[in-house]
Structure 1
Amino acid sequence: MRTHIVDDFPQGAHEGDTLRGLPSRPHGLALADRVLGLMAAVPAALLVLAEIVLLFSGVCARYVFHRPLVWGDELAGILFLWLAMTGAATALHRGAHMRMTAMVNRASKESAAFWDTVALVASLLFLGLIAAPAYAYIRQQWMIETPALEINDGLRVAAIVYGVALMLLMSLVKLLALGWKPALTGIVVSAAIVFGLDTAGPVLQSLGNLNLLIFFVGVVGFTVLSGMPIAFSFGLAVFSYLSLSTSMPLEIVVSRMDEGMSQLLLLAVPMFIFLGLLIEMTGMARAMINFLASLLGHVRGGLSYVLIGAMYLISGISGSKAADMAAVAPILFPEMKRRGERPGELVALLSATGAQTETVPPSIVLITIGSVTGVSISALFTGGLLPGFVLALALCALVWWRTRGVEPVSAKRAGGSEIMKTLIVSIPALALPVVIRLAVVEGVATATEVSTVGIVYSLIAGLLIYRRFEWKRIGPMLVETAALSGAILIIIGTATAMAWALTQSGFSHSLASFMEHLPGGAVSFMAVSVVMFVLLGSVLEGIPAIVLFGPLLFPIARDVGIHEVQYAMVVILSMGLGLFSPPFGVGYYGACAVSKIHPDEGIRPIIGYMVALFVGIVVIAAVPWISTGFLRTQ
């Protein structure tokens, strides 16, 4: 099980809680850890708030006053890199980085503690090795001046050094907290590995592309399975590959990370994460669910249909699976259990709806795939609605089949007046996806800015309509947004560096040639892609897989005649299927954590839901119109 994921894990965990062997720490180390956490979390939260204000001000200046802020995007980009790095440091402190802990959690207590130490030492190794190239990269950028604000670009990229320094110190504190013996052992082992690899440098350089297996399969595989954060695993592999088997300057690793994390389109990620937390806090999610329950709550499997519909609607607003599941499960599950639903069925269906709604805009995965492949995000938003609906129908069909012979538990059929009342209450919430969509289509805001329109709308609705707004939760929500965003963005950065290294090695051309010459043309290419991305989604996570393989495979899809929007839908849904499929799919464990149901209970029931989703994906892959039919109406 992976204990932490990008957008599919509940809030509140802290890294100190995830590492075994830390029942108590010396006061000095505990104080240092707390100070380092504040040095990351406070600026990260303020940066999220600043970006919201800046982006919404840009919308108002351009659309209302017709005086665009010509420096707005530039300032947003500068602040964004600082947000990414302080957010990544906050994520490390809170334990919110993506980690693969399936193997570690099955080990004995002593072995698990050993692997925790290995993961921590490997993280220290990457952060320590990249510190000097990061400083050298600042010196390179110090000669560049930004065009609009005319300030030194070194001030922007200094964020990388600040974030790396904080994470290095945090990891060192945690290593020291394990005790002097594990810490000394970890340092000695790290030094021995570095010395050994450095000594083997001439031999490695003579191996050519065999180094790809050594570093991108061997190093990545070992470090990921040891429980090291995936972002650091990618970074360590790239750094080791370039330093030991090539003569390229190591500043390239940092520059590629900067390129990956600095794409302004990705600024939508923290904005939509915050929006997802906001709609749960203001009660908008509850209003939508209550309306659906009044319509369907009395029929066989009625609340299961409500769960499917609620996840579809809320995914269209929040873009965050953690917010989706946390908003729906606590409202519906108690009543569903009262009506006799087994806990395993509940968590299985919740996981399936998480995979089903991966393409419902404004999905963070859609934004990511658009940013790395060049596919229009507006087209992806339009094309993503119907595929999610098709999978919803597949799940509804399975629910009907499973409940066809079950007598419904007596539940009062809602009268017309009650349905009308819940509808009226839910109208402001139901209107939010429409507001977001219209803001993009009508040119009021870009795909990056439109989330702030939704945030302001939700603020007004929460304060004036639903009268439910907890000001004391804003600070923790800003910190949570920064942590989740940082965990996403640093993976995109290190995966971008890995993708660049693979491209330079010639691997991308070999992969492209293999995929392009598969017998059967488009049909074989699509079938292989489905299988490959299901496996990648369960093992590697969706976002890193997209960043690594999206730029390689999308041009091939176009060459064999597959529409890029259809291919995006198939890829995303296939990864979603892997992400929420046990035993490795981390989304499944996120659903278990949100619903407080043991993972073992859902293993058997989830099989049928995963089969239904797979059938739906095959239909979407076979019928291009499902993904592209509405694009022609734009």
Structure 2
Amino acid sequence: MRTHIVEDFSQPPDDGGALRLPSMPDWLARVDRVLGLIVAVPAALLVLAEIVLLFSGVCARYVLHRPLVWGDELASILFLWLAMTGAATALHRGAHMRMTAIVNRAGREWGAIWDTVALVASLLFLGLIAAPAYSYIQQQWMIVTPALEFNDGLRVAAIVYGVGCMLLMCVVKLLATGWKPALIGVVVSAAVVAGLDTAGPLLQSLGNLNLLIFFVGVVGFTVLSGMPIAFSFGLAVFSYLSLSTSMPLEIVVSRMDEGMSQLLLLAVPMFIFLGLLIEMTGMARAMIGFLASLLGHVRGGLSYVLVGAMYLISGISGSKAADMAAVAPILFPEMKKRGERPGELVALLSATGAQTETVPPSIVLITIGSVTGVSISALFTGGLLPGFVLALALCALVWWRSRRAQPVSSMRAPLSQVGKALLVAVPALALPVVIRFAVVEGIATATEVSTVGIVYALLAGLLIYRQFDWKRIGPMLVETAALSGAILIIIGTATAMAWALTQSGFSHSLAAFMEHLPGGAAAFMAVSVVMFVLLGSVLEGIPAIVLFGPLLFPIAREVGIHEVQYAMVVILSMGLGLFSPPFGVGYYGACAVSKIHPDEGIRPIVGYMIALFIGIVVIAAVPWISIGFLKTP
């Protein structure tokens, strides 16, 4: 019988740390291929449909002056299907993020056992979510969308479809592991489940101590033992609700739906596809050629370009994941050619994601203004300089780390060569200008603007650079869906975890503690920095702002801290937590976008996080950085 080698179910395909599975029988391989097709083909078509729909909305509103009133509604319906089929495609292709630092040190035999335990735990999460997902469809069945009069149950059926496909994929991979590892994995998982179930009555009496048990203990253990990050978050939420509360589990599915269905996040797949298109059309090569001629003689030159590019492009999409997806595919290939280590690249990309959280027009700034009453225009004015201060801190560290590195070119390029490279690169360099112009002039929304860039890149590739491979479009659409699904399902399960923290009463207890701190403004600011770094690692910026902003901003005003300065410190502290491993969701988003394994960035990122923390302390200590350019009343 012919056999096929099975690819890792939870690591990038080019990772090299594949799941330790034996050969897969031919009949099982055929089943696996069919499962891959029934999610990859719809996912690719959905990406294409969203691109066409969003760009049609731009044309209808700006050119024909007849907006598609149903456009956002249809885009939202398709988006959840894109997120779930993309997540299933990511599972099949091995694109889900997981930490394997401990597993890789366990040896081949024990590593295979840990891999199987992680696989069974993933099966457990998917099995737990299946029934509540079906019940959630029934709850939504009576809801009809206002413009299209579309049954909302058909929209949320995407969750059941995606979960069902992922369940079958995990079963196929479990069948391929062999009886011994599979038996050990099932026995270990069953023992843990039985132990927790037996301890249920005790857990219910522990109150908020369960938050520490499940959201620190369970999440920390499962993440570090190699379970996919999204499934780890989801399993912790399910365990917490089912064992320590009496809340219905359908709530977890509804919170995941809320997290994955934010229309703003549609910018993530659009910018991922734009990044792939820029590379395919030769625009990336033109831009890198110019930047290399300009900074090739400088040690760490392209690292400075990465910091500056993230600062300039930040806020265009409203999503850090989308910002990173727009920059990383352009710069990383050339930076790798120039000897940069992959771990260093993803560490710096994560750091720039945290650095640019206050650069307007940021959706986090808009959110904090809307829930706290702080002037959004003042936040926009105050957000530029703090981001620049952190950029200087990162550049200082880049200089220190690269001071002994040998530049690729030891001589400065002649002006004629720089001018020629600039002439070739002008159409490509104009892309960020076109994107920002489209947003500022109201031509496209933050969600739609990526499609303007896609059409521009398409025309530039066909008419200017004459480099366009139609055969690559299909694989690019599938890759876009897989990367997007891997990111979106993490956001969905993280949103469910944020909701569980809110319902526990933890937020009000924390606010009461902060209000009675001794030491005045300095102590309040110091505790706020530490607290929001920790919160940022488990909550995304928007949920954390909605939870704690209305509670803490009045306290900040009472102790004499300017609300704009406090907003900057809060946002940057949350950004630091969001992009800090092992819990920070943003870090895994950076790894997914750059297709670099999380393990590689753990050591290099420590220095960047320290640099950012020092910068935040300076911003907290010097109010002028945040409020110096505000108009005084």
Q: For this structure pair, what is the TM-score category when the shorter chain's length is used for normalisation? A: 0.7 to 0.9
The alignment partner of 2:213 has SS state of helix
Deviation (angstroms), 1:32 = 1.5
Match for residue 573 of structure 2? 571
1:552 aligns with 2:552: no
User: Residues 293 and 620 of structure 1: is their aligned pair in 2 closer, same or farther, counting only changes over 3 Å?
Assistant: farther
Would the aligned equivalents of 1:133 and 1:254 in 2 still touch at CA under 8 Å?
yes
Task: Write the distance in 2 (CA, Å) between the matches of 1:228 and 1:625.
Answer: 45
User: Residues 171 and 350 of structure 1: is their aligned pair in 2 closer, same or farther, counting only changes over 3 Å?
Assistant: closer
Task: Write the distance in 1 (CA, Å) between the matches of 2:91 and 2:398.
Answer: 40
Match for residue 44 of structure 1? 43
Deviation string for 1:156-201 (max 9, x for gaps)?
0100100110111111111111112332343344444444444443
Deviation (angstroms), 1:155 = 0.5
Deviation (angstroms), 1:234 = 1.8
Deviation (angstroms), 1:44 = 0.9
Deviation string for 1:328-386 (max 9, x for gaps)?
2432454x55xxxxx67x96477335513545589999658867996899998887665
Match for residue 135 of structure 1? 134
Match for residue 265 of structure 1? 264
Task: Write the distance in 1 (CA, Å) between the matches of 2:390 and 2:300.
Answer: 17
Match for residue 340 of structure 1? none
The alignment partner of 1:21 has SS state of coil
Task: Write the distance in 2 (CA, Å) between the matches of 1:581 and 1:192.
Answer: 26
1:351 to 325, 347, 350: 347
**Aligned residue runs from structure 1 range 509-524, under 5 A:** 509-520=508-519, 523-524=522-523
Deviation string for 1:275-308 (max 9, x for gaps)?
2222222232332333233334345665665565
User: Residues 442 and 408 of structure 1: is their aligned pair in 2 closer, same or farther, counting only changes over 3 Å?
Assistant: closer
The alignment partner of 1:135 has SS state of helix
Percent identical: 72
User: Residues 229 and 546 of structure 1: is their aligned pair in 2 closer, same or farther, counting only changes over 3 Å?
Assistant: farther
Deviation string for 1:412-466 (max 9, x for gaps)?
4333333322222222222222222222222111111111111111212222222
Task: Write the distance in 2 (CA, Å) between the matches of 1:5 and 1:612.
Answer: 35
User: Residues 349 and 235 of structure 1: is their aligned pair in 2 closer, same or farther, counting only changes over 3 Å?
Assistant: closer
User: Residues 427 and 236 of structure 1: is their aligned pair in 2 closer, same or farther, counting only changes over 3 Å?
Assistant: same
Task: Write the distance in 1 (CA, Å) between the matches of 2:474 and 2:376.
Answer: 30
Match for residue 145 of structure 1? 144
Task: Write the distance in 2 (CA, Å) between the matches of 1:372 and 1:130.
Answer: 32
Deviation (angstroms), 1:110 = 2.0
**After the TM superposition, which of the residue ranges 160-169 and 384-393 deviates more from structure 2?**
384-393
The one-letter code of the counterpart of 1:121 is V
Deviation (angstroms), 1:52 = 0.8
Task: Write the distance in 1 (CA, Å) between the matches of 2:45 and 2:627.
Answer: 40
The one-letter code of the counterpart of 1:570 is L
Would the aligned equivalents of 2:20 and 2:115 in 1 still touch at CA under 8 Å?
no
1:287 aligns with 2:286: yes
**After the TM superposition, which of the residue ranges 75-84 and 99-108 deviates more from structure 2?**
99-108
The alignment partner of 1:445 has SS state of coil
Match for residue 93 of structure 1? 92
Match for residue 109 of structure 2? 110
User: Residues 573 and 245 of structure 1: is their aligned pair in 2 closer, same or farther, counting only changes over 3 Å?
Assistant: closer
Match for residue 478 of structure 2? 479
1:237 aligns with 2:236: yes
Would the aligned equivalents of 1:276 and 1:320 in 2 still touch at CA under 8 Å?
no
Would the aligned equivalents of 2:80 and 2:261 in 1 still touch at CA under 8 Å?
yes
User: Residues 205 and 70 of structure 1: is their aligned pair in 2 closer, same or farther, counting only changes over 3 Å?
Assistant: same
Would the aligned equivalents of 2:324 and 2:349 in 1 still touch at CA under 8 Å?
no
Match for residue 559 of structure 2? none
Task: Write the distance in 2 (CA, Å) between the matches of 1:512 and 1:31.
Answer: 56
Would the aligned equivalents of 1:315 and 1:324 in 2 still touch at CA under 8 Å?
no
How many aligned residue pairs are there?
Answer: 611
**After the TM superposition, which of the residue ranges 64-73 and 218-227 deviates more from structure 2?**
218-227
Match for residue 81 of structure 1? 80
Match for residue 63 of structure 2? 64
Task: Write the distance in 1 (CA, Å) between the matches of 2:579 and 2:249.
Answer: 37
Task: Write the distance in 1 (CA, Å) between the matches of 2:443 and 2:618.
Answer: 35
The one-letter code of the counterpart of 1:355 is A
User: Residues 123 and 227 of structure 1: is their aligned pair in 2 closer, same or farther, counting only changes over 3 Å?
Assistant: same
User: Residues 278 and 377 of structure 1: is their aligned pair in 2 closer, same or farther, counting only changes over 3 Å?
Assistant: farther
The one-letter code of the counterpart of 1:551 is V
Cα RMSD (Å): 4.2
Deviation (angstroms), 1:399 = 5.7
User: Residues 349 and 476 of structure 1: is their aligned pair in 2 closer, same or farther, counting only changes over 3 Å?
Assistant: closer
Match for residue 27 of structure 1? 26
**After the TM superposition, which of the residue ranges 482-491 and 179-188 deviates more from structure 2?**
179-188
Would the aligned equivalents of 1:13 and 1:95 in 2 still touch at CA under 8 Å?
no
Would the aligned equivalents of 1:289 and 1:328 in 2 still touch at CA under 8 Å?
yes
Please list every run of 5 or more consecutive structure 1 residues that lacks an aligned counterpart in the other structure: 338-342
Match for residue 203 of structure 1? 202
The alignment partner of 1:25 has SS state of strand
Deviation (angstroms), 1:101 = 1.9
Deviation (angstroms), 1:55 = 0.8
**Aligned residue runs from structure 1 range 521-600, under 5 A:** 523-531=522-530, 544-546=539-541, 549-556=544-551, 558-559=553-554, 560=556, 561-563=562-564, 566-567=568-569, 569-571=571-573, 573-575=575-577, 578-579=580-581
The alignment partner of 1:98 has SS state of coil
Task: Write the distance in 1 (CA, Å) between the matches of 2:157 and 2:368.
Answer: 24
Would the aligned equivalents of 2:517 and 2:524 in 1 still touch at CA under 8 Å?
yes
Would the aligned equivalents of 2:358 and 2:383 in 1 still touch at CA under 8 Å?
no
Match for residue 330 of structure 1? 333
User: Residues 433 and 565 of structure 1: is their aligned pair in 2 closer, same or farther, counting only changes over 3 Å?
Assistant: farther
The alignment partner of 2:617 has SS state of helix
User: Residues 440 and 280 of structure 1: is their aligned pair in 2 closer, same or farther, counting only changes over 3 Å?
Assistant: same
TM-score (norm 2): 0.83
Task: Write the distance in 1 (CA, Å) between the matches of 2:423 and 2:461.
Answer: 15
Task: Write the distance in 1 (CA, Å) between the matches of 2:143 and 2:246.
Answer: 25
Would the aligned equivalents of 1:570 and 1:620 in 2 still touch at CA under 8 Å?
no
**Aligned residue runs from structure 1 range 8-27, under 5 A:** 12-13=13-14, 19-27=18-26
Deviation (angstroms), 1:46 = 0.9
Task: Write the distance in 2 (CA, Å) between the matches of 1:362 and 1:129.
Answer: 38
User: Residues 4 and 62 of structure 1: is their aligned pair in 2 closer, same or farther, counting only changes over 3 Å?
Assistant: farther
Task: Write the distance in 1 (CA, Å) between the matches of 2:307 and 2:214.
Answer: 42
1:156 aligns with 2:174: no
**After the TM superposition, which of the residue ranges 434-443 and 48-57 deviates more from structure 2?**
434-443
The one-letter code of the counterpart of 1:108 is G
Task: Write the distance in 2 (CA, Å) between the matches of 1:201 and 1:470.
Answer: 58
Deviation (angstroms), 1:325 = 4.1
Would the aligned equivalents of 2:349 and 2:590 in 1 still touch at CA under 8 Å?
no
The one-letter code of the counterpart of 1:424 is L
The alignment partner of 1:83 has SS state of helix
Would the aligned equivalents of 1:278 and 1:455 in 2 still touch at CA under 8 Å?
yes
Task: Write the distance in 2 (CA, Å) between the matches of 1:207 and 1:550.
Answer: 28
Deviation (angstroms), 1:104 = 1.6
TM-score (norm 1): 0.83
Task: Write the distance in 1 (CA, Å) between the matches of 2:302 and 2:591.
Answer: 22
Deviation string for 1:488-534 (max 9, x for gaps)?
22122222222222211111212233344444555444444544566
Task: Write the distance in 1 (CA, Å) between the matches of 2:92 and 2:405.
Answer: 48
Would the aligned equivalents of 1:372 and 1:550 in 2 still touch at CA under 8 Å?
yes
Deviation string for 1:19-40 (max 9, x for gaps)?
5331411112222221111111
Match for residue 615 of structure 2? 616
User: Residues 80 and 448 of structure 1: is their aligned pair in 2 closer, same or farther, counting only changes over 3 Å?
Assistant: same
User: Residues 391 and 48 of structure 1: is their aligned pair in 2 closer, same or farther, counting only changes over 3 Å?
Assistant: same
